[in-house]
Amino acid sequence: MARRIRIPWLIDVVSVSTPDAIRAVAPHPTLDRGLRPAGPLFNRFVTGRLRFTLSTGRRPLPTILRRDDTDRAAAQAALTDRLTPAEPERLLDEETVAALSGFVRGEGGEVGPLTQQLVGRLFDADYQATGETWAAAKRLQRAAESNNPLTHLLRVIIGSIYRAQRTLSDAAKGDPSAVHSTGIAVHNLVDAMEGLAKLYREADDRASVSTAEAIARTLVGPRTIVRQADGHADSLVGPLRPGTLVTFAIREAGQRSLDPRITFMRGGWSECPAHRVVPAMIAAVWSQAVWQ
Ligand code: HEM
């Protein structure tokens, strides 16, 4: 259910990877984002690296902001409202859906920039993904995932993280939610598109694969999301101390359960505003690939 690594002064990290434990622990009032410098050395490195990386270069991305941040909550509510109409497929850029369905059929096309463009056009109909914006998204994601302090230091010194943030932010007109979506969240959707291409190649009778089944077989969540303890408290996964990091292995847990409360943290304070439109994207690309 949970694995803890604790060496006083050095590290205090709890990894949670089962759906039940994530559902039970996520609402704990002592666990939040914000990622202050607190706790042992490794914890301080991780929070510092994430605070530096998950930013537009000027403003923090929403996924490192605290639950009581009222601007974050208002932006999340407004975006959820906008991305959850009765027919979410109408929000999708037709030209990009068509190009992605060509990719799924094996007719070529670059899945990374195309998926980034599909996401970017939810925010701005003129969003243009390029080799440069896609390279920036990969660089930002790698920097967010790497726990090697030397590599991080090098990236900071040569300015590669900052340049990636500026490229993504310029394309997204400075909107932190759009930078998060086109720079970080997009990678989950690329994995889903690659999953659709594999399903298309391997299904014996692809016309019999419903859109619901295609979604269930390809939708994946982020590998991990991070919470930090604000103070001392007991929890289902053991005692929390100020600065304890708790990571949720969303992708692993989501593959054991179709529950959107895991993949999109649905129903919680941090739920993904795209929880309706993402399945609509997968459904639109799959049905065009198979039927048109
Ligand atoms: C397969 C695709 C996606 C998955 C599985 C996914 C999943 C998630 C999860 C689990 C969170 C919560 C993070 C946390 O608790 O710290 C989140 C947050 C968020 N997601 Fe997604 N996401 C996806 C795609 C998208 C897309 C396409 C958009 C925008 C169009 C988006 C916008 C956001 C935003 C703005 C937040 C931050 C919400 C907040 O806490 O204020 N996501 N997403």
Give the Cβ contact number of residue 51 at 10 Å. 16
What residue has token string 């660089």?
139
Ligand 1 centre to CA of 273 (Å) is 6
User: What's the confidence (pLDDT) of residue 256?
Assistant: 75
User: What's the confidence (pLDDT) of residue 138?
Assistant: 98
pTM given for the model: 0.97
Dist. CA 111–CA 117, nearest whole Å: 10
In 3-state terms the chain splits into helix, strand, coil percentages (rounded to 5) of 55, 10, 35
Q: Is the pLDDT of residue 199 over 80?
A: yes
**Averaged pLDDT, 205-217:** 94
Q: Is the pLDDT of residue 36 over 90?
A: yes
Ligand 1 centre to CA of 271 (Å) is 7
Per-chain mean pLDDT for the chain: 96
**Averaged pLDDT, 32-54:** 97
Ligand 1 centre to CA of 8 (Å) is 33
Ligand 1 within 6 A of CB of 172 = no
How does pLDDT run across 233-283, given as a tens digit for each residue?
A: 999 999 999 999 999 999 999 887 778 789 999 999 999 999 999 999 999
Dist. CA 186–CA 100, nearest whole Å: 14
Q: Is the pLDDT of residue 185 over 80?
A: yes
**Averaged pLDDT, 9-35:** 96
Ligand 1 within 6 A of CB of 121 = no
Band (285; pLDDT cuts 50, 70, 90): very high
Please name every residue paired with 136 in a beta bridge, in sequence order, or none if there are none. none
Worst-scoring range by mean pLDDT, 43-57, 154-168, 203-217?
Answer: 203-217
Q: Is the pLDDT of residue 286 over 90?
A: yes
Q: Is the pLDDT of residue 133 over 90?
A: yes
Ligand 1 within 6 A of CB of 178 = no
Instruction: Give nearest CA residue, ligand 1 atom 7.
Output: 264
**Averaged pLDDT, 121-140:** 98
Longest Cα–Cα distance of the chain, Å, equals 60
Question: Could you give all domains of the chain from N- to C-terminal order, each with its CATH number?
Answer: 2-291 (1.10.630.10)
Q: Vertex 174, ends 172 and 176: CA angle to 5°?
A: 90
**Averaged pLDDT, 213-217:** 94
Band (1; pLDDT cuts 50, 70, 90): confident
The best mutation among 56, 117, 217, 272 to test binding of ligand 1, ranked by most ligand atoms within 8 Å of the C-beta, falls on: 272
